[in-house]
């Protein structure tokens, strides 16, 4: 299986930036490339990246004392048109070489700063 990291890329339906991430249970899912407040998220749409494994876990499945303040969300919750795309993870845009996931978080942080400047 091709486990190269994905790159952040705009959804072809809504142009919002998205990223494919590997699930701890296997498979890949398409997520918004931004974090959302966990307590504003719908059930079934609260995910987090485990730092050790760099894989995504469903927060509704983990029985931890407290959830992180922010979580990842599946893109198809806000963009139903992307649902069919989410079945074709082999088409996902990938990093050409082995750049780790920190790159994603740096990009997200940069976007946040840019948004603050713009706003």
- Where along the sequence are the contacts to Zn ion (CB under 5 A)? 11, 13-14, 79, 82
Min CB(86)–Zn ion separation in Å: 10
Q: Pick the closer one to Zn ion by CB: 14 or 109.
A: 14
Min CB(64)–Zn ion separation in Å: 30
Min CB(75)–Zn ion separation in Å: 6
Report yes or no: 101 and 5 within 8 Å, Cβ to Cβ: yes
Q: Pick the closer one to Zn ion by CB: 18 or 41.
A: 18
Q: What are phi and psi of 67, to 5 degrees?
A: -85, 155
Apex 93 CA angle, 27 and 3, nearest 5: 40
Nearest to 23 by CA among 58, 51, 71: 58
């Amino acid at each position: 299986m091709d486990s190269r990291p994905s790159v952040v890329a705009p959804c072809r339906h809504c142009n919002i930036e998205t990223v494919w991430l590997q699930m701890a249970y296997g498979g890949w899912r398409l997520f918004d490339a931004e974090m959302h407040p966990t307590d504003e998220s719908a059930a079934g749409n609260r995910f987090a990246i485990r730092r050790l494994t760099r894989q995504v876990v469903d927060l509704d499945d983990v029985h931890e004392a407290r959830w992180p303040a922010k979580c990842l969300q599946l893109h198809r919750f806000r963009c139903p048109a992307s649902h069919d795309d989410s079945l074709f993870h082999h088409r996902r845009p990938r990093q050409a070489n082995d750049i780790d996931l920190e790159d994603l978080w740096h990009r997200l942080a940069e976007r946040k700063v840019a948004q603050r400047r713009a706003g």
